[in-house]
Amino acid sequence: MSIYTLGIDIGSTASKCVMLADGKEIVSKSLISVGAGTSGPQRAIAEVLEKANMTKEDMAYVLATGYGRNSLEEIADHQMSELSCHAKGASFLFPEVHTVIDIGGQDVKVLQIENGVMTNFVMNDKCAAGTGRFLDVMARVLEVKVDDLGMLGARSTKRVAISSTCTVFAESEVISQLAQDTDKCDIINGIHHSVAARVAGLAHRVGVKDLVVMTGGVAQNAGVVGALEEELGHTIHTSPLTQYNGALGAALFAYQRYLKEQK
Amino acid sequence: MAKTVSPGVLALRKVVEDVYADARTAKAEGKLVGWSSSKFPCELAEAFDLNVMYPENQAAGIAANRDGEIMCKAAEDLGFDNDICGYARISLAYAAGKRASRKLDLETGEYVIDPTSGKPLKDENGNVVIDPETGKPKKDPKTMQPYTVIDDIHEIEALPEGREKELRKAAIKPYRQMQMPQPDFVLCCNNICNCMTKWYENIARMCNIPLIMIDIPYNNTVEVADTNVAYIRSQFDAAIKQLEELTGKKFDEKKFEHACANANRTAQNWLKVCDYLQYKPAPMSGFDLFNHMADVVTARGKTEAADAFELLEQDLEENIKNGTSTLPFPEQYRVMFEGIPCWPKLPNLFKPLKENGVNVTAVVYAPAFGFVYNNMDEMVRAYCKAPNSVCIEQGVDWREGICKANKVDGVLVHYNRSCKPWSGYMAEMQRRFTADLGIPCAGFDGDQADPRNFNEAQYMTRVQGLVEAMEANKTLKEGEDK
């Protein structure tokens, strides 16, 4: 009989769950677009269980991560930081990984990985520039969907410099560009490079070594990924499971801990 | 396990209490009281028997007493930008006469209690008592505190003698840092930071008092240039002349030599105390060193400080013999804590360290304040070396030296919004620590005095990440050793 473990990643803007069988096969996953402090975590847990037609009691081990990790004491057997979980998830998807860049809702993390484990890391300071939230704000100002930013940025014919590194001031910079009738696609391209420059600055602090993997919701934006490749001079690998990476890592750690406790 | 307070720690606490008490007495007797930056050559002031107070130490105390934010805001109301160092803002507000005070009802003469303050009330079985009306825990009235407001001593002094004046004077918070005498002169040495120069110029202007300034050039090389020594030496001579004019006394060579001998003895004993953190497990919580800094700063030229550190050293020796420690949890990991702590958030800072068994066994203050010298020129060279006045090579060398000696597993770096020069070069230092020592480093955002710049959730994640990285590193090294 298979051993089922559940990883729950409660971020600042989304709640994600991944259920694994025997620490290797994804049985089910869920994503609710609201995070810590909302109904998101409970809904995500209910959905992942329902999809697999299982109950909490069927789970051998549950591990929570993300900012809301400590609010799930009733269901989770253990909590770990999202740093280690992202390292774990990325190492599972890309065994040769040495650098993980995760852009989440309000965090940017760059992780250094050796033999599949995180040996060092750096995170953004108390500033939203370069995070998913920065892109949310810009999409709202430009009246486009955040999911469409990548596609729209690809249509750009020239790059507009968004020089400010502050979300609030970048917003006014974008507004002034719009007032000058600058093409939205060019502005978006500029925004992607602004994010990439910010993240690259952080990545250089901890060092960038191939293979480089990008995780988190922003990794779905090809414009940011391309701009970051240009900034870093490294090929960046992403996965369709990018948003679930933290939850996947948590489910993998859950399996490891289950085995350890059985000994 | 209750934290043991050893005779050495008690002696150190008394030294600082006495320095403040002596200054209050001196002021009451009409004697001069000065304010000095932490690394001004105190030996010069000691030669004139002057009472000197230290605003940096005072600001740390005010912040630890949770009044940092209201004092910072008071300075901002005076026009000082919130980007300026938190210590400077607290000190400038204080120099302007602003005081954290308990809110008064002048009609009844009683303090106005803040209903949100205090700890939950517990019944005889230790259970929290719930208020049936609100469904929330009831507050223990004994632990509830009055609202804190800002008052102004100049306004109070201008009042006619009477009830209101007495009540408002008494409402000023009683702890020693909020009862520090106003200055009659200021002693500024900018080796500790450059913000200091403008900070002290402002105090001198506000209070209309003399400023004695010693300018230390930034050291671009590890060795201090002879021309710099000559430049600083001449400023020492000028400072002595200014102090002679101020006090009407001649410079007393004997007292100066005595103060130098004490400062050397304090430094030697301070270094010995710091060296005890090399033991594994350590006989003390390295976080305690931050508290003992008050003695190094306020009293290093005094016999009592040198004696108290000697006593602390004996306590630690005893701990080693008995296999005990003042650390209230078993030591699993050892880290260097880089930077000044977030004084208003000390319990929050300590909590995840305690939960994860992390002891701070290295702080840069050990080498930075443990300087010993044998003559005036060496003394000048010693005062050239402070955390923010030395080049990155020297800074890295100091830190990597104690990281190796004190066997740390990782580094926790405070990116201190108050201290741009210190935080500015930490990113590069972090990179070098990892490259040279093979240990993980985690940085967090905060502030030494202004609690608005600290976010506990972000800090917790970074500490947990550091612990997990240290664990992974240990596992990797164990694998390599096998």
Tell me the DSSP string of B126-174. SPBPBPTTTSSBPB-GGG--BPEEEEEHHHHHHSPSSHHHHHHHHHB--
- Give the chain B residue nearest A65 (alpha carbons): B461
Both B322 and B392 in one domain: the answer is: yes
Q: Is the dihedral of CA B347, B349, B350, B353 positive or negative?
A: positive
Q: For residue B457, what is the nearest residue in chain A, using CA coordinates?
A: A67
According to DSSP, the residues that pair with A62 across neighbouring strands are: A6
Residue B232: what are its φ and ψ, rounded to 5°? -75, -40
Cα separation, B133 vs A106, in Å, equals 39
Cβ pair A120:B443 closer than 8 A:
no
Element (H, E) at B442: strand B441-446
Lay out the sheet containing B410-416: strands in order across. Answer: B358-362, B333-338, B410-416, B441-446
More confident residue, A73 or B66: B66
- How many Å apart are CA A248 and CA A243, to the nearest integer? 9
| ipTM metric | 0.79
Residue B286, chain A, CB below 8 Å: the answer is: no
Q: Three-state SS for B208?
A: coil
Distance CA B406, CA B399 (A): 10
Domain encompassing residue B313:
278-481
Percent of chain B at pLDDT exceeding 90: 73
Task: Please indicate, yes or no, if residue B374 is contained in any of the structural domains.
Answer: yes
CB contacts < 8 A (A, B): 62
pLDDT in tens, B253-287: 999 999 999 999 999 998 999 999 999 999 998 88
Cα-only R_g, chain B: 23
Q: Are residues B315 and B200 in the same domain?
A: no
A206:B473 CB<8 A:
no
The position carrying tokens 């930071």 is B193
Q: What is the pLDDT of residues B148-166, one digit of tens each?
A: 999 999 999 999 999 999 9
Q: Is residue B70 one of the residues assigned to a domain?
A: yes
pLDDT at position B481 over 70 = no
Judge: B469–A115 Cβ closer than 8 Å, yes or no: no
Find, in chain A, the residue whose alpha carbon is nearest to that of B428.
A205
Mean pLDDT on B140-146: 91
Q: Which chain A residues contact residue B476 at CB under 8 A?
A: 114-115, 117, 119
Q: Does a structural domain hold residue B128?
A: no
In 3D space, the residue among B243, B239, B474 whose CA is nearest the CA of residue B379 turns out to be B239
Give the tokens for residue A253.
């750690």
DSSP state of B332: -
Token reading at B330: 């078993």
Beta-carbon contacts of B288 under 8 Å, excluding residues fewer than 6 positions away, are B9, B326
Q: How much is the pLDDT for B1? A: 43
Q: Which residues of chain A have a CB within 8 Å of the CB of B415?
A: 125
β-bridge pairing A108-114 and A61-65: unpaired
Q: How far apart are CA A115 and CA B276, in angstroms?
A: 35
Q: Is B412 helix (H, G, I), strand (E, B) or coil?
A: strand
Same domain, B355 and B308: yes
Assign B225 to helix, strand or coil: coil
Comparing CA positions, the residue from A76, A93, A73 lying closest to residue A246 is: A93
Residue B236, φ and ψ in degrees, nearest 5: -60, -45
Structure tokens at B46: 């000691």
- The whole-angstrom separation of Cα A30 and Cα A17 is 5
**B229-240 burial, b for 16+ CB within 10 Å, e for fewer?**
beebeebbeebb
Which of A119, A124, A202, A204 is best to mutate for the B interface (most B CBs within 10 A)? Answer: A119
How close, in Å, is residue B176 to chain A by CA atoms? 34
More confident residue, B65 or A206: B65
Is residue A15 within 8 A of residue A250, CB to CB? The reply is: no
Set of chain A residues whose Cβ sits within 8 Å of the Cβ of B441? 120
B396 plus B320 within the same structural domain: yes
Closest CA to B3 of B435, B350, B444, B450: B350
Are B419 and B449 in contact by the 8 Å Cβ rule? The answer is: no
Per residue in B96-122, pLDDT (tens digit) is: 999 999 999 999 999 999 988 888 898
- Give, as one character, the DSSP assignment of residue B14: H
* In a domain? residue B142: no
User: So what's the pLDDT on residue B326?
Assistant: 86
Question: Which of B291, B299, B287, B372 has its CA nearest to residue B328?
Answer: B287
**Residue A81 DSSP SS3:** coil
CA nearest to B423 within chain A: A125
In a domain, B87, yes or no: yes
Distance from CA of A82 to the nearest CA of B (A): 8
Report pLDDT digits (tens) over A120-147: 899 887 777 888 888 988 999 999 998 8
State how far residue A244 is from chain B, nearest Cα, in angstroms. 19
Q: What is the pLDDT of residue A129?
A: 80
Of B98, B115, B100, B111, nearest to B175 by C-alpha is: B100
Cβ-contact A213, A236 below 8 angstroms: yes
Q: Is B468–A81 a contact, with Cβ atoms under 8 angstroms apart? A: yes
As a whole number of angstroms, the distance between CA A9 and CA A102 comes to 13
Rounded to the nearest 10°, the torsion over CA A189, A195, A200, A206 is: -160
Residue in chain B nearest A122 by alpha carbon = B442
Q: Are residues B227 and B375 in the same domain?
A: no
Cα torsion for B335, B338, B339, B341, to the nearest 10°? -20
**Residue A167 predicted with pLDDT over 70:** yes
Q: How many domains does chain B have?
A: 2
Q: Which of B456, B447, B477 is nearest to B59 (CA)?
A: B447
Domain containing B76 — which CATH number?
3.40.50.11890
- Measured in angstroms, the CA of A184 and the nearest CA of chain B are apart by 34
Q: Is the peptide bond before A211 cis (omega within 30 degrees of 0)?
A: yes
Query: Measured on CA atoms in the order B279, B284, B288, B11, is the torsion positive or negative?
Result: negative
* Same-domain status, B244 and B282: no
**Which pLDDT value is given to residue A239?**
94
Separation of alpha carbons A191 and A150, rounded Å: 11
CA distance B443 to chain A (A): 7
How far apart CA B320 and CA B299 sit, in angstroms, is 27
A174: its two tokens = 């974008």
Q: Report the C-alpha gap between B132 and B144 in whole angstroms.
A: 20
For helices B55-64 and B68-77, the axis angle rounded to 10 degrees is: 120
Q: What is the DSSP letter of B105?
A: E
Report yes or no on B166 lying in a domain.
no
Q: Is the pLDDT of residue B4 over 70?
A: no
Q: Are B331 and B408 in contact (CB under 8 A)?
A: no
Q: Residues B410-468: pLDDT tens digits?
A: 999 999 999 988 898 898 999 899 899 999 999 999 999 999 889 888 899 999 999 99
**Identity of residue B449:** A
User: Do B447 and B368 share a structural domain?
Assistant: yes
Highest mean pLDDT: which of A129-138, B125-134, B163-172, B469-478? B163-172
In chain A, the largest separation of any two C-alpha atoms, in whole Å, equals: 67
* DSSP conformation letters of A128-180: -TTSHHHHHHHHHHHTS-GGGHHHHHTT-SSPPP----SHHHHHHHHHHHHHT
Summary mean pLDDT of chain A: 90
Q: Do A83 and B475 touch (CB under 8 A)?
A: no
Q: Maximum Cα–Cα distance for chain B, whole Å?
A: 81
B61 and B205 inside one domain: yes
Helices (H) and strands (E) in chain A, counts: 8, 10
Distance CA B35, CA B207 (A): 12
Q: Note whether B468 contacts A: Cβ–Cβ < 8 A.
A: yes
Task: Looking at the structure, tell me whether residues B194 and B313 fall in a common domain.
Answer: no
Q: Is residue B147 part of a domain?
A: no
In single-letter form, the type of residue at position B139 comes to: K
The pair of three-digit structure tokens given for residue B205, joined into one six-digit string: 């202007």
Q: Report pLDDT digits (tens) over B22-47.
A: 999 999 999 999 999 999 999 999 99
Contact, A223 vs A192, CB < 8 A? yes
Percentage above 70 pLDDT, chain B:
99
Distance (Å) from the C-alpha of residue A241 to the closest C-alpha of chain B?
23
Share of chain A above pLDDT 90, in %: 63
Q: Between these two residues, B245 and B473, which has the higher pLDDT value?
A: B245
Give the C-alpha separation, A40 to B284, whole Å: 44
Instruction: List chain B residues with CB under 8 Å of A119.
Output: 440, 469, 472-473, 476
Beta bridge partners of B34: B52, B185
Alpha-carbon span B88 to B195, nearest angstrom: 8
Choose one of B232, B248, B264: the last residue of a domain. B248
> Taking the model in full, what pTM does it have?
0.88
Q: What angle do CA B162, B171, B161 make, to 5 degrees?
A: 15
Query: Is residue B331 located within the same domain as residue B223?
Result: no
pLDDT, average across residues B180-206: 96
Peptide bond into B440 cis (omega under 30): no
Tell me whether residue B117 is in a domain. no
Whole-angstrom Cα distance, residue B111 to residue B133?
26
B342 and B229 inside one domain: no
Q: B201 and B313: one domain?
A: no
Q: How many helices (DSSP H) and strands (DSSP E) are in chain B?
A: 19, 12
CATH number at B421 reads 3.40.50.11900
| B472 lies within 8 A of chain A by CB | yes
Strands, E assignment, B44-134 = 51-53, 98-102, 104-105, 110-111
Q: What is the pLDDT of residues A231-259, one digit of tens each?
A: 999 999 999 999 999 999 999 999 999 99
